Amino acid sequence: MTNDEGLRSNRKDLLQNTVILSVAKDLWEGDIVRLLHTMEQVAEPGWEIVMTKWAALSWTVEAVRSHKEALEKELPTWFLRQAAGLDEYLETGMERQICASLGIKAVYEMSEGGVFSGLWDMAEFSDCGLSVRLSDIPIRQETVEIAEILDENPYLLPSRGSLLAAAADGSGLCDRLHENGVEAAVIGRLMSSKDRVIIGREGIRYLEPSTRMRS
């Protein structure tokens, strides 16, 4: 196997085995106001959770810039250029328009807290639980490689450019998004129980809030 083939091999299983299910929560007033403005509708138990684009999207773009020298020692130039090019996906106008056209208002724009924080916020705002399969959360191979080198958990990293949406017909929403060139996947479902679970290769783990703040 060549070095490039090794880079392209998916190491997502490693992330699934080592993931720490804690959520960095910023409970200051401004964050609550942001959440209220972001989600216009309470989601209902049974609705599917759709995620657009990829985990740690904005972090990946920024990491290439801020850790350029360290990453150039480990990864080829073409790979880093490809990762930096993900900045073209940071806008969310198209997917917001599509959600609005379908009457979907339970939409959460992920930012600093990452995927786990976004899932927690969505469930908290809607006063329900959720069940998400870790392997269904979309993530780019560029992110997997860079996060591994920098010893980061991509599910806790800034994901600006990615949306979470709750809908009764999540598959239908994904179809419409795909028709318009937006990557999307159903990653789980909201539940009537208050448990917020992530299903990984090693079984069920629980999503929990944490007072630890990311620097």
Distance CA 116, CA 182 (A): 21
The answer, yes or no, to whether residue 113 has pLDDT greater than 90, is: no
CB 23, CB 116: distance < 8 Å: yes
What does DSSP say about strands 22-24 and 196-200: parallel, antiparallel, or unpaired?
Answer: unpaired
Distance CA 159, CA 119 (A): 12
Domains of the chain (ranges, CATH numbers): 3-56+90-140+151-208 (3.90.650.10)
Q: Tens digits of per-residue pLDDT, 116-166? A: 999 999 999 899 999 999 999 999 999 999 999 999 999 999 999 999 999
Q: Tens digits of per-residue pLDDT, 36-46? A: 445 667 889 99
Percent of the chain clearing pLDDT 70 (strictly above): 79
Distance CA 169, CA 172 (A): 5
The answer, yes or no, to whether residue 20 has pLDDT greater than 70, is: no
Distance CA 11, CA 182 (A): 24
pLDDT band at 66 (very low <50, low <70, confident <90, very high): very high
Give the residue carrying structure tokens 């299903």: 199
Encoding tokens for residue 181? 């060139």
Give the residue carrying structure tokens 């999503």: 207
Distance CA 157, CA 58 (A): 9
pTM for the complete prediction? 0.81
Mean of the per-residue pLDDT values for the chain?
Answer: 84
pLDDT band at 24 (very low <50, low <70, confident <90, very high): very low
The answer, yes or no, to whether residue 25 has pLDDT greater than 90, is: no
Give me the sign of the Cα torsion angle 93, 95, 97, 103: negative
